[in-house]
Amino acid sequence: MATLAFDVTQLNPVYRPYLTDTHRYQIFFGGSSSGKSVFLATRAVLDVLQGRNILVARKVGHTLRASVWNEVGKAIDRLGIQDQFDIRTSEMTVTARANGAQILFAGLDDVEKIKSLTPARGALTDVWMEEATECDRADFKQLDKRLRGQTRHLKRVTMSFNPVYKTHWIYEDFFSGFADGDTSYQNAKVSILKTTYLDNRFLTEDDASSLRAETDPYYRAVYTLGDWGTLGDSVFTNWHTEDLRPLRRLYRDRYIGLDFGFARDPSAAVNCALDRPGRRVLVFDELYETGLVIWELARRLERFAGRNLITCDSADPRSIAELRALGVRALPARKGPDSVLHGLQWLQGHELVVNVTCHNLCRELSHYRWKKDAAGNSLPAPEPGDDHLIDALRYALECEQLNRRAVVRRKREVGL
Ligand SMILES: Nc1ncnc2c1ncn2[C@@H]1O[C@H](COP(=O)(O)OP(=O)(O)OP(=O)(O)O)[C@@H](O)[C@H]1O
Ligand SMILES: [Mg+2]
């Protein structure tokens, strides 16, 4: 077995006891920049030298390379042990030369890869789910099952994330013994460590002061203090992600909504379907791009929307007219009185199933919150800002929120 003269002062002290933790389930959660990813990447590198085979998973495959893959590379560099590994960038594999054990990477959206993935030598011993709150319970179960086969190592599923809100399945499944205010917890099944930027002695003063300066209550709770966000603040807790590819063909009637943007704000559109009996909205695709001039947007929409009608933000009649002149079937949203609240309440009455590829919409949904008054009570209006796709979603389904006849008339009104 390879041994490494390893200087533990390279690691933040709070994490050091977890180098040898053998709980089946391990949770590292808390605030931003608390050193979770760097620690777990370093531990993965040290563990693979001990013969562990580790799968690093995220919900969406294309986010791996710029995040965990880089972290593992940096950990190897920091330890100065590049010569002990065979690193294949195109396949994203790291193989320990001495024992053949591997660190493998996969996105949960790549079902085939997840199914067929096996280490070159021996069985998988570890799964590390980075940003695990992006994943649903079924993803976790699937990965947990992947840890089968003979090995001398105790098997582990490690999850790292920023806490979102308490109705999340991770909270429900693992946090019953963890009280608000605790920083660590263990039972026979799980170990939990909560950290914040204060636990990271390697953080630059700039990064620390921007976290200290956060004034938004939700962001401060989750990203500065590492606390689970409060349920009452979130507009949407009735949503989850799913791989919707198998359902694409079943739902041919699509609803398209568009929110205009250009320089700072993106042009934002969603392509969704309605499952009326199941009271579900299925969001298949998102378009989210800044800097599109109108003919570029028209070209994108051709592919994005096909021949479906597109309900657009009516605050910009000129853009709608221009899109129509370019052959796009664009309609203005009606935006009656209270349409925002009405639209949001309508969406709250449905389960929102968001395709795993729609990561901008997922971000918006998880951060979208009601405004508060000075006493901290929620007001019936959302906090504006990071909400372009949510606006597009309201527009897309506006005709369902009004009534169907109105829509037919509206099409005639505009000569479609
Ligand atoms: N052991 C370490 N050695 C050197 N630098 C470190 C170490 N741990 C953390 N850092 C520095 O702190 C930064 C933040 O750490 P890291 O990315 O691990 O935080 P995080 O908890 O994963 O944050 P987030 O929740 O935002 O993903 C790193 O980019 C790195 O610069
Ligand atoms: Mg991280």
Q: pLDDT digits over 284-313, tens only?
A: 999 999 999 999 999 999 999 999 999 999
Q: Give distance in angstroms: CA of 82 to centre of ligand 1.
A: 20
| One domain for residues 141 and 226 | yes
| Contact by Cβ (8 Å): 97, 85 | yes
pLDDT in the model for residue 230: 67
- How remote is the CA of residue 145 from the centroid of ligand 1, in Å? 30
| 168 φ/ψ angles, rounded to the nearest 5 degrees | -65, 145
Confidence check: pLDDT of 375 > 80: no
pLDDT at 115 over 90: no
Using CA atoms, how far apart are residues 347 and 391, in angstroms rounded to an integer?
Answer: 11
* Selection from 287, 332, 334, 330 nearest residue 308 by Cα: 330
pLDDT given for residue 1 in this prediction: 46
Strand 370-372 to 54-58 pairing: unpaired
CA 325 to CA 27: how far, in whole Å?
54
By percentage, how much of the chain surpasses pLDDT 70?
93
Q: What is the pLDDT of residue 4?
A: 65
Please say if the pLDDT value at position 416 is more than 50. no
pLDDT at 405 over 50: no
Q: Are 32 and 211 in contact (CB under 8 A)?
A: yes
Report whether 307 contacts 327 (CB < 8 A).
no
Please indicate, yes or no, if residue 3 is contained in any of the structural domains: no
In the block, tokens 């007001």 appear at 379
pLDDT range class, residue 150, cuts 50, 70, 90: confident
Find out whether the beta carbon of 12 lies less than 6 Å from any atom of ligand 1: yes
Distance 161 CA to ligand 2 centre (A): 7
For residue 341, give the amino acid letter: L
The domain boundary residue, chosen from 230, 260, 284 = 230
**Looking at the domain assignment, is residue 279 inside a domain?**
yes
Q: What pairing do the DSSP bridges indicate for beta strands 351-355 and 280-289?
A: parallel
Hey, which of 32, 38, 63, 203 would you mutate to test ligand 1's pocket, going by the most ligand atoms within 8 Å of its Cβ? 38
In the structure, what pLDDT confidence band is assigned to residue 410 with cuts at 50, 70 and 90?
A: very low
CA dist., res. 51 & res. 153, Å (int): 8
Domain that holds residue 218: 9-230
Secondary structure class of 145 (helix, strand, coil): helix
Question: Do residues 226 and 272 both lie within one domain?
Answer: no
Closest approach atom of ligand 1 to CA 10: 1
Instruction: Say how many Å lie between the CA of residue 175 and the centre of ligand 1.
Output: 24
Sequence-distant (6+) residues with CB within 8 A of 251 are 273, 275, 282, 284
Residues 248 and 222 in one domain: no
pTM here is 0.68
The reply to whether 124 falls in a domain is yes
Regarding whether 151 and 114 lie in a shared domain, the answer is: yes
Q: Is the CB of 33 under 6 A from ligand 1?
A: yes
Count CB atoms within 10 A of the CB of residue 180. 8
Query: Which ligand approaches the C-alpha of residue 30 most closely?
Result: 1
Residues 172 and 196 in one domain: yes
Domain end among 230, 253, 286: 230
Helices marked H in 11-99: 36-49, 70-79
Atom of ligand 1 nearest to the CA of 162: 25
**Quick one: 156 and 284 in the same domain?**
no
Q: Is the CB of 202 under 6 A from ligand 1?
A: yes
Residue 38 CB–ligand 1 contact under 6 Å: yes
339 and 386 fall within a common domain: yes
Nearest partner of 260 among 333, 337, 364, 345, judged by Cα: 333
The stretch 158-164 carries a mean pLDDT of: 94
**Do 282 and 187 share a structural domain?**
no
Q: Check if the beta carbon of residue 124 is closer than 8 Å to that of residue 55.
A: yes
Residues 255 and 384 in one domain: yes
- Residue 4, domain member (yes or no): no
